[in-house]
Amino acid sequence: MKKKSLYIIIAIVVITIVVALAVVFLKQKTSVVENVEVVEVKIPELYGEPIEGWILYTDTVRSGDFLGTIMGRYGISPQQIDKIAKMSSDTFNTTLINPGRPFTVFADTVIDSIPQAKIFVYENTAVKFTKYDFRNPDTILIEKFRKPIDTVNLEASGVIETSLWNAMINNGYSWELALAMSQTFAWTVDFYALQPGDWFKVLYSELFVGDKRISIGEVQAGVFYQGGKELWAIPFTQDSTQCFFDTIGNSMRKTFLLAPLEYTHISSRYSNARMHPIFHKVTEHLAVDFSAPMGTPVYAASDGTITTRTFGTGAGYYVAIRHNSVYTTVYMHFSRFGEYNVGDRVSQGDVIGYVGSTGWSTGPHLHYEVHENGRKIDPLKFEPPPAEPVDSSNLERFNEEKRYWIDKVNSVKMK
């Protein structure tokens, strides 16, 4: 018995020492691990929540799904769903969801094969998401978030074989870039008259969320070679507005003449309903009539290409000018045409015809239409983008920045 108790004492002492050593050893080890954790290891997060400990489910909204029906599949009670609907005002409607959009469920348990969601995240767009937090049993927290967007600077180049579109697609660029370029160069490059051998170099940006490309950012600067000329787009900010300019500081946007002739008075304004002077019934007049003496010269309102020059029963002798992919102007009732034919480029102020009274007209006047994306807008309320050149006081700064952009664009390798 005595021997036995001695063994027990020895055993206790030994165990105590071992435990003590183990504690000291482990403590050291933990503190090392803790240090490492603080310095290097970041706990993985999803939508701002540490993912550790959650059962995660990711899926996309199917057509016909409502937010409530989806949440119901993940253990959210009808009472809670009702609460969300009541919390969603018109300005903060969180229950509207679209098929194809992804959602993620953070569940803590699964009961009767139904995951019990504690957090539900719906991706409204590639950038925005809404988080529904059910962790507090008394209140539902609904918050909207924006993912950080990264801007990546890129470059593009190409030689035209058939069209800008084909050159872009063949060289692996997006249609969005083709569109952005056609807008940047809308006033200087005639995209309908590109010839094989014309070329472009452009600097642009794209927007990313993580690794995922969201959309094009913007065209930063570029050059288009057409008709033996280099047409430059140099970005420059003055009066806190950024615009594109050519190499001598002229705006790439052209203004429109307020009126394309010297008129005596406006005989009919833009209106959805007016009494027609000839037919004596109410019709719309989506144009302005400028009265002027017979033979008064009519000018191209802005730079463009003549697309129509013909006789119409109602319009008489008339001309249409396409200025860019957005704007077209139409001039009617000419007594005779100017010297330009269909397909000719005209500059602002070129004489395209002379006031007359041909077609359905009660006296010499110009019927003038402005079409914006194919829709007739009020020429007198039409405010084209401003086209101020670089101010002389800014020229020094412009020339410095111009040098930078020209060098940068020129260094783009031709594809």
* Nearer Cβ to Zn ion (252/287): 287
Q: Is 370 in the site for Zn ion (CB under 5 A)?
A: no
Quick one: 357 or 399, whose CB is closer to Zn ion? Answer: 357
Distance in Å, CB of 284 to Zn ion, minimum: 11
Contacts to Zn ion from residues 117-176, by CB under 5 A: none
Window of 27-35, 80-88, 309-317, 367-375 that interacts with Zn ion by CB under 5 A: 367-375
**What letter represents residue 179's amino acid?**
L
- CA gap 305, 42 in Å, rounded: 61
Reduced to 3 states (helix: H, G, I; strand: E, B; else coil), residue 7 is helix
Reading the block at residue 246, the tokens are 């050519």
Helix (H, G, I), strand (E, B) or coil at 340: coil
Q: Determine the interface stretch with Zn ion among 232-240, 279-287, 347-355, 404-412 (rule: CB under 5 A).
A: 279-287
Q: Which is nearer to Zn ion, 190 or 289 (CB)?
A: 289
Count interface residues toward Zn ion (CB under 5 A). 3
Binding segment (CB under 5 A) for Zn ion, from list 74-82, 167-175, 235-243, 366-374: 366-374
d(CA 139, CA 246): 59
**Is 369 one of the binding residues for Zn ion (CB under 5 A)?**
no
The CB-of-287 to Zn ion minimum distance in angstroms stands at 5
Tell me the closest approach of the beta carbon of residue 268 to Zn ion, in angstroms.
Answer: 5
Q: Are 208 and 150 in contact (CB under 8 A)?
A: yes
Give CA–CA dist 255/302, Å, rounded. Answer: 6
- The residue nearest Zn ion at its CB is 367
User: In this structure, are residues 340 and 309 in contact, taking their beta carbons and an 8 Å threshold?
Assistant: yes
Nearer to Zn ion, 289 or 350 (CB): 289
Shortest gap between Cβ of 330 and Zn ion (angstroms)?
A: 10
- The C-alpha atoms of residue 202 and residue 173 are separated, in whole angstroms, by 12
289 lines the binding site for Zn ion (CB under 5 A): yes
345-346 vs 327-337, strand pairing mode: unpaired
292 binds Zn ion (CB under 5 A): no
In the block, tokens 């609907």 appear at 85
Interaction between residue 367 and Zn ion (CB under 5 A): yes
Q: Which is nearer to Zn ion, 269 or 397 (CB)?
A: 269
Q: 64: alpha, beta or left, given left = phi > 0 and alpha = psi -120 to 50?
A: left
Nearest to Zn ion of 202, 287 (CB atom): 287
Residue in the structure block whose two tokens are 């034919």: 341
Q: Which two tokens stand for residue 67?
A: 């937010």
* Location of structure tokens 């049993």: 137
Query: What's the Cα-to-Cα distance from 282 to each of 260, 285, 361, rounded to whole Å?
Result: 27, 9, 16
Please, what is the minimum distance in Å from the beta carbon of residue 292 to Zn ion? 13
Is position 287 an interface residue for Zn ion (rule: CB under 5 A)? yes
User: Does the protein bind Zn ion through residue 71 (CB under 5 A)?
Assistant: no
Binding site for Zn ion (CB under 5 A): 287, 289, 367
